[in-house]
Homo-oligomer: A and B are copies of this chain.
Amino acid sequence: MRIAELSQATGVPVPTIKYYLREGLLRPGERTAVNQARYGEGHVRRLRLIRVLREVADLSVARIGEILAAVDDESLSLHQVLGVAHAALEPRPADEDDQLAEARREVDSFLDRLGWAVSPDAPARRSLAQTLVRLRTLGQDVGPQALDVYAEAADTVAAWELDHLDAAGGDRERRVERAVVGTVVYEAAFAALRRLAQEHHSARRFGGRWTS
C-alpha cells in the first residue's frame, strides 16, 4: 500500500508517518519510484504499536525507539525485552536524597522478604521508593501491611500474565510485542478496574451520589 493508505489504515497522519520514518521508528517501505514506496502489514502493526505506546504511556519518541529496538533485536529474549520496556516506562531518575535512599532500603528488604527474584537495578524499585517518599511527605505513613495487600494482588496478576504470555505462543516478534503491549495497556485496564471497584466499595460504605 502507499503511504496515504497506510495512514488511512492506522489513523496516523502522513506527516507523522514521515516523521517516524526519519526517526527510524518505522522501517522504510519498499521503494517503487524515486518518490514513492510501498508499505505492508508489518508497517500497519508497527504504527499501531507506536500509537498505543504514545497514547497510553505518553512515551517520547526516544523512549519508544528504545523499546522498538529491543523488539527488533532478535538476540534479546522475551525476558530482556520486558526489561527494556520497564526501563523505558520509568521516569528518569532525579537526584537521590537521604529520604529516598532510606525508602530504597525499605523496598529492598520488603522484596527480599517476599522472596521475589528482582534484579538489584530494576527501575521499578526506585519508582516504588519514590511513591513511599511522596506518601510520607503528605503525612501518610505506609506500613508493610498496605504494601502486602498490593504485592499479593500484583503477584496474582503478574503470575497470570506470564503464564498467559508463555501459553499464547506465536513467533518471537508476536510474543515480545504482546509482552510490551501487556505491560503498558493492561496497566491502564487495571487502573480503570480499580477505580470502578473503588466506586463500588465507596458506594457500599458511604453511599449517595457519585458524579456531580
Contacts and interface: CB of A to CB of B under 8 A. Distances in A.
Nearest to A189: B131
A127 interface: yes
Interface string A68-83: 0010000011111011
A47 to B, nearest CB: 10
A135 interface: yes
Query: Main SS of chain A's interface residues?
Result: helix
Interface string A189-212: 111111111111111111111111
Contact of A209 (B80, B128, B201, B205): B80
A178 interface: yes
Contacts of A139: 45
Nearest to A195: B124
A140 interface: yes
Interface residues of A, number: 88
A206 B77 contact: yes
A121 interface: yes
User: Which of A161, A190, A197, A199 has most chain B Cβ within 10 Å?
Assistant: A197
A149 B157 contact: yes
B122 A211 contact: yes
Contacts of A137: 48, 52
Q: Can you list the 6 inter-chain pairs with the closest CB atoms, starting with the nearest?
A: A158-B197, A79-B206, A128-B192, A154-B193, A124-B195, A116-B200
